[in-house]
Amino acid sequence: MKKANIAVVGATGMVGRTFLKVLEERDFPYENLYVFASKKSAGQKVTCKGQEFTVEELTEDSFDRNIDIALFSAGGDISKKFAPIAASKGVIVVDNSSAWRMDKDIPLVVPEVNPEDIKWHKGIIANPNCSTIQAVVALKPLHDQFNIKRIVYSTYQAVSGSGVKGVKDLEEGLKGNDLLSAYPHPIAGNCLPHIDVFLENGYTKEEMKMINETQKILNNYNLKITATTVRVPVRDSHSESINIEFEKPFELEEVRNILEKAPGIILQDDAKNNVYPLARSAAGHDEVYIGRIRRDFSLENGLNLWVVADNIRKGAATNTVQIAEILIPTLE
């Protein structure tokens, strides 16, 4: 396989460090690796594949060297400023922020779901929201077979989705110290139905992200979706209850067989033996775990799923690296 010159932007953050870990674990074929972050992080050391790298300050000149692919996870404002600069210099940007996700000219990609959309990129590819990624991995194979009519999302999201501050709030809260650095209320012993900011329509920005991104990824802007997203006192891995209404009838065994064969999914659905997806079990893994598969008897062609995945890995870093792997053969 061709080797690429790779840049990681936001290399000292939680997702950025996981980029490096995933690149190493998957033995990503890079020739040169460049690591960038803010001025205050410049000079720090990070490692990948046993080699130590010095973090450089991200500037407008950072992409003047020969870089093929840049993995961004440094926040929306940084992406809005620097992704177009990188793209103008021939770099393909895979961006983990929300900056470009709903731009009609930028593909929003989950490799197990819509890898074909990568082909029409114009220099920037967007990585979806963590909670959306695991949901569509579960939904796509079922949508292909039974045609989804409506989705109801209820999420139980880990504090690592808020970065280092969220993790610190939980860890200190469990010690009896209620910090409010990431949330408006203590997270320890609590569930907060409040992720991102509230919008005029009463939904949070996170809820609207899931609605809009799912429609874009599944290429159906008329798909009826509603969502309630909740932050829970769990360190890693998002859990989701997904209620689906299909156009076509289905058998539960059919559903299980489809999910079992689908890429990136591990089925854990043995209720008699208390086997179902758990946040603690999914943490550190790249697969999407699905269980609690059962009919929704309150409507025709209704189904319930419980879907769990590591939000920092499959929900961010691993999905980004998977996109980069697909790009490798397309490099000149």
Residue whose entry in the numeric block shows the structure tokens 């949901």:
135
Answer yes or no: are the C-beta atoms of 316 and 10 closer than 8 Å: no
Identity of residue 305: L
Cα R_g (the chain), whole angstroms: 20
From 48, 121, 130, 143, the catalytic residue: 130
Identify the sign of the CA torsion 4, 10, 11, 14: negative
Map tokens 């000079």 to a residue: 43
Catalytic residue among 48, 121, 143, 238: 238
Which one, of 307, 306, 269, lies nearest residue 287 by Cα?
307
The span from the CA of 48 to the CA of 22, in Å, is 9
Strand order in the sheet with 30-37: 56-57, 30-37, 4-9, 69-72, 92-95, 124-126
Closest CA to 48 of 26, 24, 15: 24
Judge whether 35 and 46 are in contact, CB under 8 Å.
yes
238 annotated active-site:
yes
* C-beta separation of 64 from 40 below 8 A: no
Cα distance between residue 104 and residue 30, in whole Å: 30
DSSP state of 128: P
Token pair of 62 as six digits: 């950072």
d(CA 156, CA 240) in angstroms, rounded, equals: 6
Size of the chain, expressed as the number of residues it contains: 332
Buried b (16+ CB within 10 A) or exposed e, 78-95: bbeebbebbbebebbbbb
Q: Which residues are catalytic?
A: 130, 238
